[in-house]
Structure 1
């Protein structure tokens, strides 16, 4: 059977390595074999032609890529549709630094406020601070009457509200001053309105300091020391003040207020004067509306502080009895009553 095929029979003693083609190829030194060439041995000379043809050439210079390589790590997120540039990284770093700077500045202001609070407590209850309001010049014969520092004396949760009340007081003072200018302009075109001008002068002189003392200082002291008595004093006086603001907005003739009624009537006499008075009426309207909003805001904060009418009564009694003049008057009255009783008993 083996004579018809090229494959030997299993029983034949045939060595495949004795094949003439294999022996001829092994005797040819032109081919690179492991027995003939060792690439790590420099003594054998240059490599055979087969290895010389496939020898690696000189390394090519690496050209920097214009775009960053794509992410190949499976855990890293892939970027679809957007390109990451160095400018984006710079912007992100700058925003992070600005945010950290704002946080540090906020912490620095808080530490400074706490330091001032500690300094104020270190003064002791008997120590007095130098008054700083109103900020008058040094050559003025009258000095400041009050000490005011919202950042130091008021808790941080109430500082915003107290600051708004202070700015609101300044707004009311400016509105009254503008009301004086409006009444003066009306007096220039209509001399019979001298009564309104005189009352406008009285209102700006009376309401400006009284509003500061009667309702701004109580709300300031209420938030400073959580005083129930000052809260109730503010609510009563400020409610009456808001009623006056409504009357100012209406503008009753002859009352010295440039409200809507007086301003509309002034348009018939002089259009420029009527326009000025209408602007004053708009300011009065905004003043009344803001007063109602601030009254509700302070009342909501008052309910959070735990103040009550009972505490207000106790604070009033304590304050009255701690007054030196009141105690002296009570002592004198008691001594007079006792002396009268003793004299009557002796008779």
Structure 2
């Protein structure tokens, strides 16, 4: 078929540039041209719809609520309630202190039952002293006072072991029977005397802050330190298992010498601890404000207020008055 058979009014197939596939794809695309988004017109309806849907989401932004301050009347009422509560607490504590003070006064008026030495109730000898560190001794002095009490107990145990050592020494050599006899005397004599002469004075000094008791303790306890040193030295024939006596006995019997060396070590420990204790008590004594003048005043007041002294003075005055009247007659 020739070209004359074609329709002369139809568009040529090969000559139309818009029939190209790439061109037809662009012209038939659903992408909207840029002209449809004018910059000075209202927002796009689809964008507005998205904004509206986002604003209607269930998550709302946080909104700070304004703080409500209490009114002055409410503040005053709360402060008054707090003051009333504190006042009730103070009144309760004051009532508790009054109750304890009344209990102490009643105990002082009725007299405290002695509890030292701790003896069975069926024992014929009753306790002679009342002793309670937590009640009678201030808290800052309790530790030192207890240490002195433990030193006294340690000294008593050492004296008992000294008796056993001297007994063992006496069994090996009868010439040292005098040491055994003196060791019995030291145990019987020093055990109660040390308690009465230096422990009870320091206990009373800490209890009542007595200057006279402090001075009495220093004087007696210094003598006790000297005795501890003599016992630790162990002079032969003095009834002490000290170092000299122990080295003398170890040549005859090693077992007895070893026992006496142990006792000598205990006497040495007593001497060292006693020196430490007297320094500690002296440092506390200086902080209490005690003095020799106060000790003299306490001694004079104690002597003049003593019933025994008053009775003796009254008897002496009456006897002198009667003698003077008889002389005049």
User: Is the pair's TM-score, using the shorter chain for normalization, greater than 0.5?
Assistant: yes
* Pairing partner for 1:240 from 209, 215, 223: 223
Alignment correspondent of 2:3: none
Q: Distance in 1 between matches of 2:307 and 2:220?
A: 26
Q: Distance in 2 between matches of 1:119 and 1:284?
A: 46
In the TM superposition, what whole-angstrom CA distance separates every residue of 1:150-173 from its partner, at most 9, and x where no partner exists?
000000110111011111110111
Q: What is the 5 A alignment of 1:281-300?
A: 281-300=264-283
Flag the structure with higher helix content. Answer: 2
Q: Distance in 2 between matches of 1:285 and 1:142?
A: 34
* Pairing partner for 2:144 from 161, 182, 196: 161
Q: Distance in 2 between matches of 1:201 and 1:177?
A: 8
Q: Distance in 1 between matches of 2:32 and 2:276?
A: 111
* Pairing partner for 1:197 from 180, 187, 200: 180
Alignment correspondent of 1:332: 315
CA drift of 1:345 comes to: 2.2
Over the aligned positions, Cα root-mean-square deviation in angstroms equals 2.7
Q: Does 1:311 align with 2:294?
A: yes
Alignment correspondent of 2:157: 174
In the TM superposition, what whole-angstrom CA distance separates every residue of 1:238-297 from its partner, at most 9, and x where no partner exists?
001111111101101001000000000001110000000001001111111111110111
Q: What is the 5 A alignment of 1:89-128?
A: 118=101, 121-123=104-106, 125-128=108-111
Deviates more, 1:267-276 or 1:308-317: 308-317
Q: Does 1:24 align with 2:7?
A: no
* Pairing partner for 2:245 from 242, 251, 262: 262
Larger radius of gyration: 2
Alignment correspondent of 1:58: none
Q: Does 1:207 align with 2:190?
A: yes
Q: How many residues align?
A: 252
Q: Distance in 2 between matches of 1:195 and 1:119?
A: 57
Greater relative CO (CA pairs within 8 A, separation 6+): 2
Q: Distance in 2 between matches of 1:140 and 1:319?
A: 34
- 8 Å CA contact retained: 1:197, 1:256: yes
CA drift of 1:22 comes to: 8.3
* Pairing partner for 2:199 from 216, 221, 228: 216
- 8 Å CA contact retained: 1:117, 1:153: no
Q: Distance in 1 between matches of 2:182 and 2:269?
A: 22
Measured at CA, do residues 117 and 189 of structure 1 come closer, stay the same or move farther in structure 2, by a change above 3 Å?
Answer: farther
- 8 Å CA contact retained: 1:131, 1:147: yes
In the TM superposition, what whole-angstrom CA distance separates every residue of 1:52-76 from its partner, at most 9, and x where no partner exists?
xxxxxxxxxxxxxxxxxxxxxxxxx
Q: Distance in 2 between matches of 1:237 and 1:116?
A: 40
Alignment correspondent of 2:114: 131
SS at match of 1:123: helix
Measured at CA, do residues 315 and 116 of structure 1 come closer, stay the same or move farther in structure 2, by a change above 3 Å?
Answer: farther
Q: Which runs of 5+ in 1 are unaligned?
A: 1-19, 42-113
Measured at CA, do residues 245 and 115 of structure 1 come closer, stay the same or move farther in structure 2, by a change above 3 Å?
Answer: farther
- 8 Å CA contact retained: 1:266, 1:274: yes
Q: Distance in 2 between matches of 1:219 and 1:315?
A: 15
Q: Distance in 1 between matches of 2:285 and 2:231?
A: 28
CA drift of 1:342 comes to: 1.8
SS at match of 2:235: coil
In the TM superposition, what whole-angstrom CA distance separates every residue of 1:293-317 from its partner, at most 9, and x where no partner exists?
1011101100111111111111111
Q: Distance in 2 between matches of 1:220 and 1:117?
A: 23
SS at match of 1:138: coil
